[in-house]
Chain A
Amino acid sequence: MATKKASAKKQLKTSKSELLQLYRDMLLIRRFEEKAGQLYGMGLIAGFCHLYIGQEAVVVGMRAAMKDGDQMITGYRDHGHMLACGMEARGVMAELTGREGGYSRGKGGSMHMFSTDKKFYGGHGIVGAQVPLGAGLGFANKYLENGAVSTAYFGDGAANQGQVYETFNMAELWDLPVVFVIENNQYAMGTSVARASAQTELYKRGISFGIEGHQIDGMDVLAVKEAGATALKHARDGNGPMILEMKTYRYRGHSMSDPAKYRTRDEVNEVRHDRDPLDAVKARLEKEGWADTDSLKAMDKEIKAIVADSAEFAQTSPEPDPSELWTDVLLPVEA
């Protein structure tokens, strides 16, 4: 069993079309989240709203490595995952505003959206709960012999939950096809990893279960994709789970009402200017001659139009009909 730290930076192989697609997918998440933050500021989105800005490379890189049929499940910072799965920006944004056109018809909110069609299984609000649920999806894959792998995303905070280790144990014991993706953005709400974790190198957390773990630069979409492909193959081939610790960073507060006083502005700015996952791809695109300022601007405009349309839809879609209060509590029993 290998358990490895992130390797030194090397330039990974890619192609024009692939890199443009990855950039576009990340840009959609970033622009969408910026808009969500704005709508929250306008009072159109209420309650909790956890933005994914800064972490885009993790889910986009992973999704690029996944096959159709592979599932995704995550915690409450879930907008990026849904967009990466191909769920419509309109439906996600309208759920944030609590409207009929939302994926959960306004009854779930920011943390609770699902798409069985796009293999996105939520959207879970209890820290760490998605880990056994994700392993359960893997259990079903193995039972049904459908060849799919489940990917379960959780943060550095959830990595300290007891149920995560119960799940690691069973996932390895039963060789479940599941990849555990730890999105280590370095702060569990306001508590840094060092203040909460005896072992801060989270990829090592599977050692006592015999689960291979790797630490990846989660700001490098190609590195994420490469590691994701390895882990998915490992799981798909019947070798059980793998842990990928993605070193990443969230630019915004934990939720919208977090003044983020637990870290300095300089720290945020440094990551933003030196390690931004979009800037890195943009630089490579320009260096390879695969894109220029004009073409990137055009893409940005196109993405902004999608996001603006979703925001418009999210405000014009009606609120759920009052009769919806009583629906979807129980399914009828078939005779």
Chain B
Amino acid sequence: MSIDIQMPALSPTMEEGTLSKWLVKVGDTISSGDILAEIETDKATMEVESIDEGVVGKILIEEGAQNVKVGEVILQLLEDGETEADLGTPAASSAPEASSQSEDGSDNPGTTGIRHPENDDADTDKTSGMPQVKVANDPDIPTNIKMVETTVRDALRDAMAEEMRRDEKVFVMGEEVAQYQGAYKVTRELLQEFGDKRVVDTPITEHGFAGIGVGAAMGGLRPIVEFMTWNFAMQAIDHIINSAAKTLYMSGGQMRCPIVFRGPNGAASRVGAQHSHDYSSWYANVPGLKVVAPYDSADAKGLLKAAIRDPNPVVFLEHELMYGNTFDVPDMDDFLIPIGKAKVRREGADVTIVAHSRMVGFSLEAAERLAQDGIDAEVIDLRTIRPLDTETVLKSVRKTNRIVCAEEGWGQSGIGAEISAVVTSQAFDYLDAPPARVHQKDVPLPYAANLEALSLPNADDVYEAAKKVCYK
């Protein structure tokens, strides 16, 4: 039985083309790889290669023929020992489903896209997204437990040290993490305890060492990659997103990447625009990542420990201006805070203030002042930006009917924009005022002290916004 050679498609969208030239004639012996013909569309000319061997038995489409449908038989090839008598009836066009579906739309940009009727019966809820995973509550802290005053810096350090003691596969790499003891001293004394195999100084090559970290995670280790600041991680963002976040999905669940990327995020003091960027909303946008931004020492410790044990890539956003602040940390073995749970830091009935990282402090300060004005504010510390604990926020808004979203980053497409959208779509009927947002002014952060102060959000801004949504 002869071999039918069909009109090929040059691209998934091609439906027909011109057979511009035959390069073989009946009787020619063909080897695999030989060029049979040239075909042409409005976009390109391409050569049709044979993947079969044999003798040209019959040419069915004339040179120069236009509008030849993809899948139509254009040539029949005789195999070893066959003669013209063996020429079969050419099979009917076997143009695949993809092109035949084009009547329902094509995959050209701007059209509705190919319809997939096979999905019609799916009971998947297309709007609600990922099945919600129940996140455990914070651990119960026994009343007799000793509280230890600890800086955020030392809490982060302790978290790494404890996890490195617990699991040999945990190591930390980054610029100045070892001999220098950390640019911000977060890795202080880790080198002394764990040695240079597990506390690795890197050259100043974020793109490269982030990639090596991700590769090491794929190879079975549990890296903690420190960026001296998240500003420099823009050099490495390809590996954080394309290599770390997407690979589990792209591999159908095979390739794991347990890695923590951590470092200071957001504004420092008087360091100018390139060193003062809050990336919360950038990373929060990406499925496949977890994004954590703690406020106090206990959360910094408990969440970093959880991040190191997490089987997924975690972006851990610290704040340089918080490193030296002191808070209580419970003196407990294995103090873990589950990722994905917000914390109500102050209960209140009149207005909800949602914040994360350093803005939590400003929000608590604003709440005290609001209390003097007779406004009882509830302050929610998001702690985790992805997955976002919308349940806690919605529950609060249904009680207070008002919300202020405070963040240090810019407003457009920010965390506050996201929370406002969630609240207006899921608790619209409960709102007595439009959601308010507090954020950095829409300019690169200036250096001059007075302009810097004007640009960054503070407790006054939160206070004013809360008054506004309370119509006071």
Contact = CB atoms under 8 A, between A and B. Distances in A.
Of listed B98, B214, B219, B310, residue having the most chain A CB within 10 A: B219
Contacts of B221: 139-140, 143-144
A53 B309 CA distance: 43
Contacts of A116: 254-255
A42 interface: yes
B243 A325 contact: no
Contacts of B210: 132
Of listed A43, A122, A173, A252, residue having the most chain B CB within 10 A: A43
Contact of B12 (A43, A106, A107): A43
Contact of B208 (A114, A169, A256, A333): A169
Nearest to B208: A166
Contacts of B48: 41
Nearest to A307: B51
Interface stretch (B123-131, B175-183, B423-431): B123-131
A140 B96 contact: no
B110 interface: no
A136 B211 contact: yes
B108 interface: no
A41 B287 CA distance: 33
B9 A131 contact: no
Interface in B244-261: 247-256
Contacts of B333: none
A78 to B, nearest CB: 12
Contacts, number: 226
Nearest to A41: B8
A108 B252 CA distance: 7
B435 to A, nearest CB: 28
A104 B124 contact: no
Contacts of B6: 41-42
Nearest to B125: A326
B288 interface: yes
Nearest to A134: B215
Contact of A136 (B9, B213, B249): B213
A257 B44 contact: yes
Contacts of A334: 311
Interface string B196-222: 010000110101111111111111110
A141 B46 CA distance: 45
Contact of B51 (A37, A166, A327, A332): A37
Interface in A272-295: 272
B139 to A, nearest CB: 12
B339 interface: yes
Interface string A45-72: 0110000010000000000000000010
Contacts of B248: 328-331
Nearest to A114: B251
A132 B51 contact: no
A299 interface: no
Contacts of A37: 49, 51
A44 interface: yes
A163 B249 CA distance: 24
A125 B133 CA distance: 31
Interface in B129-175: 129-131, 133, 136, 169, 171
Given A257-B44, A332-B133, A167 B51 contact: no
A161 to B, nearest CB: 9
A180 interface: no
Interface in B32-59: 32-33, 35, 44-49, 51
Contacts of A326: 124, 129-131
Interface string B74-114: 00000000000000000000111111000000000000000
A243 to B, nearest CB: 16
A175 B221 CA distance: 18
A44 B9 CA distance: 10
A328 B208 contact: no
B242 interface: yes
A332 B310 CA distance: 8
Given A129-B238, A330-B288, A330-B312, A107 B209 contact: no
Contacts of A325: 124
A236 B207 CA distance: 26
A103 B255 CA distance: 11
A140 B311 CA distance: 17
A103 B218 contact: no
B212 A42 contact: no
Contact of A135 (B169, B212, B243, B253): B212
Contacts of A319: 118
Contacts of A44: 96, 98
B249 A328 contact: yes
B208 A43 contact: no
Nearest to B40: A259
A102 interface: yes
Nearest to B246: A112
Contacts of B256: 331
Given A114-B254, A256-B11, A124 B243 contact: yes
Give 10 closest A-B pairs by Cβ, nearest first.
A136-B215, A132-B211, A166-B208, A41-B8, A140-B219, A322-B122, A105-B252, A34-B51, A166-B205, A133-B215
24 contacts: A34-B51, A42-B94, A42-B95, A47-B12, A103-B254, A104-B252, A114-B251, A129-B243, A133-B212, A136-B211, A139-B215, A139-B219, A150-B219, A166-B207, A173-B203, A252-B49, A259-B45, A323-B124, A326-B131, A327-B253, A329-B288, A330-B312, A332-B133, A333-B309
